[in-house]
Amino acid sequence: MKILDFLDPENIKTDLKATDKKGVLEELTLPVAAITKIGHKELVRVLMEREHLGSTGIGNGIGIPHGKLKGLPSLILGVGLSRKGVDFDAIDKKPTHIFFLLLTPDNSTDLHLKLLARISKVLKEPVFREKLRAAGDRQEVIDLIKNIDNDF
66 catalytic? Reply is yes
Q: What is the pLDDT of residues 90-140, one digit of tens each?
A: 999 999 999 999 999 988 878 889 999 999 999 999 999 999 999 999 999
Helix, strand, coil proportions of the chain in percent (round to 5)? 45, 25, 30
Indicate the pTM of the whole model: 0.95
Q: Which of 44, 46, 41, 39 is nearest to 20 (CA)?
A: 44
CA dihedral 56, 58, 60, 61 (to 10 degrees): 0
Identified catalytic residue from 40, 66, 97, 112:
66
Domain ranges, ordered by start, for the chain: 3-151
Superfamily covering domain 3-151: Mannitol-specific EII; Chain A (3.40.930.10)
